[in-house]
């Protein structure tokens, strides 16, 4: 997946694979025709609805800075002779996208996180041509949702719809700023619901549509034929050969998911996620036969964390989870999505099978506990860095347990050694590590450390002497 002009685009090889999985063909794919009537009333034009909805959709342009560090300074051979000078430079970035006004009284605008990420200046252009500076209220990279704020003067708000009421085949309209051309409207249908496992975000429950979504549409509105916001456009499937044009497969984040994320961002500036303390794997045909189940949809519990809500509620390894809060569980990813999007303290009702009998348990989402320690307890060269042991099934990392640098004190030994917050520790002295005990063992009785780190999208070797 790459980013282009503020809109996510899946690469060509992923496009081909996903198209195969979705049962779609790139050839003969046409645009959907508009219905003759809605609610029994003739619909010769969408213009009246668009006159109400489009003033709430804005164009967003940003200017940002990224810290760029030459790979030369991460090379152990270079560091051996020249040390770690920490030479970094700033690179200016620009982005174009879209947003939707959801609160006219306070000036709140919904958009995608990747539209405003790393921005030092955000400029919003309204439908009437006014240009306003915006500030970030909060953002959530895991769902790619952000809330920004402009001065609340003569703003038009959009009505929020109910994405749970959408059906495959419903007509929808995408409004945004493709290619920086200015506000543009395209139409299509809901092609699919509940799309997940695409590797675009950590938490996925996308609306798929064939309404044209192009670079610059990110953060724009997906509305129903009554002009109600049902989704926030966020990604497209790229054309074969690496092109960035639309091929009729776009994705939007459902407004019912966005609504709760937005409220948390406005209230707290961030989203605080909880855990139930349970891990699971998909229920396949062989496992369904072994458990004597008619359905092949569900997830089998493979781990229950000690002292977690799941353990206190009585869940056990081997239980087959069928529903969470009444929603069918198709795979283990559904459990992660459903729980990860709930607020701390929210009640969860889980239906599961044990020994062929249907059971029910009610749990409460609690704040996750992250075991951590000062890096100095691992090795003196890591002093000042707090390292945490993270258990997660983040689809983008493909692992369930890893070590991450949670924070680094300025001017500490770890800081001058080149360790930075959010670094993921892969190996110490060429020994793979995934928890704190392994890290201690790998660093024991070693005067220097060779760290293998993942920093952002790249891997690097860091020699600490």
Which residues are annotated as catalytic? 114, 144, 218
C-alpha count within 13 angstroms, C-beta hemisphere, residue 8 = 24
Asked if 410 and 388 count as a contact pair (C-beta separation under 8 A), the reply is no
Q: Tell me the C-alpha distance between 203 and 257, whole Å.
A: 10
DSSP type of residue 306: T
Q: Residue holding tokens 């009554």?
A: 226
DSSP type of residue 380: G
Alpha-carbon distance values, 216 to 10, 437, 442 (Å): 15, 46, 47
Q: Tell me the C-alpha distance between 445 and 345, whole Å.
A: 44
Kindly report each contact of residues 231-234 with a partner whose C-beta sits within 8 Å and lies 24 or more positions away, as own/partner. 231/163, 231/172, 231/207, 231/255, 231/258, 232/100, 232/110, 232/111, 232/112, 232/145, 232/258, 233/7, 233/98, 233/174, 233/176, 234/7, 234/8, 234/112, 234/144, 234/200, 234/201, 234/206
């Amino acid at each position: 997946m790459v980013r282009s002009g503020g809109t996510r685009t899946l690469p060509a090889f992923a496009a081909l694979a996903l198209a195969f999985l979705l049962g779609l063909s790139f050839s003969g794919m046409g645009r959907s025709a508009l219905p003759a009537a809605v609610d029994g009333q003739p619909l010769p034009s969408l213009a009246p609805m668009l006159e109400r909805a489009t003033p709430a959709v804005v164009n967003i342009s940003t200017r940002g800075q990224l810290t760029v560090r030459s790979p030369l300074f991460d090379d152990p051979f270079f560091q051996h002779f020249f040390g770690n000078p920490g030479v970094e430079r700033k690179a200016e970035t620009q982005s174009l996208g879209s947003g939707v006004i959801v609160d006219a009284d306070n000036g709140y605008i919904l958009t995608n996180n990747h539209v405003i990420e790393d921005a030092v200046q955000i400029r919003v252009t309204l439908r009437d041509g006014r240009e306003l500076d915006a500030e970030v209220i909060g953002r959530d990279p895991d769902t790619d949702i952000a809330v920004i704020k402009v001065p609340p003067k003569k703003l038009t708000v959009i009505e929020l719809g109910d994405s749970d009421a959408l059906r495959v085949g419903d007509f929808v309209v995408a409004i945004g700023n493709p290619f920086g051309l200015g506000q543009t409207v395209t139409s299509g249908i809901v092609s699919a619901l509940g799309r997940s496992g695409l590797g675009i975000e950590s938490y996925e429950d996308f609306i798929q549509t064939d309404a044209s979504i192009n670079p610059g549409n990110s953060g724009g509105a997906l509305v129903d034929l009554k002009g109600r916001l049902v989704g926030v456009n966020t990604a497209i499937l790229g054309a074969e050969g690496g092109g960035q044009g639309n091929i009729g497969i776009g994705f939007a984040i459902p407004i019912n998911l966005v609504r709760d994320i937005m409220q948390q961002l406005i209230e707290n500036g961030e989203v605080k996620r909880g855990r139930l303390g349970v891990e699971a794997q998909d229920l396949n045909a062989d496992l369904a036969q072994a458990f004597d189940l008619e359905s092949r949809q569900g997830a089998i519990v493979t781990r229950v964390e000690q002292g977690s809500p799941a353990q206190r509620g009585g869940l056990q390894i081997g239980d087959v989870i069928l529903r969470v809060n009444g929603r069918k569980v198709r795979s283990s990813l559904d459990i992660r999505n459903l729980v990860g999007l709930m607020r701390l303290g929210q009640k969860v009702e889980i239906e599961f099978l044990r020994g062929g009998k249907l059971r029910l348990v009610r749990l409460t989402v609690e704040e996750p506990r992250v075991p951590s320690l000062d890096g100095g307890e691992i090795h003196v060269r890591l002093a000042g860095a707090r390292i945490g042991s993270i258990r997660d099934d983040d689809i983008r990392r493909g692992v369930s347990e890893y070590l991450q640098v949670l924070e680094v004190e300025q001017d500490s030994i770890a800081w001058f050694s080149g360790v930075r917050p959010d670094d993921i520790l892969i190996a110490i002295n060429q020994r793979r590590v995934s928890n704190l005990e392994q890290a201690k063992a790998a660093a024991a009785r070693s005067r220097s450390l060779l760290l293998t780190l993942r920093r952002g999208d790249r891997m690097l070797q860091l020699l600490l002497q």
